[in-house]
Structure 1
């Protein structure tokens, strides 16, 4: 299982348990902490990851098959 598969599985579990908004808040906070820890050196990459995660969570939350 790759990192993307692992993220998907954990995201689905978290959304089911606490809701999409709280999961997206957690992703945002984690990215901000990473930016702080690296002095913003990788901010562009972190932001891209945060946006991708948020978009995925939105699509997953809107999926009627779940």
Structure 2
């Protein structure tokens, strides 16, 4: 299991921009499905996730 997590972290580090874009799209989907009801919380979660992958948030927000 730790080998999988290591590979996942390595991928995230190497493809930070793509990971950040995927997180952003996921957050947008949640906002769409909840009618934006939890938008503030979703945005904060996406921002924190982006900080913890790769070199940080590559998408200006």
> Structure 2 length normalisation: TM-score?
0.68
Q: 2:6 aligned with 1:45, yes or no?
A: no
Q: 2:20 aligned with 1:12, yes or no?
A: no
Between structures 1 and 2, the one with greater helix share: 1
Aligned CA RMSD, in angstroms, stands at 2.4
Structure 1: unaligned runs, 5 residues or longer: 1-8, 61-66
After superposition, the Cα gap between the structure-2 partners of 1:28 and 1:40, relative to the gap in structure 1 and judged at 3 Å, is same
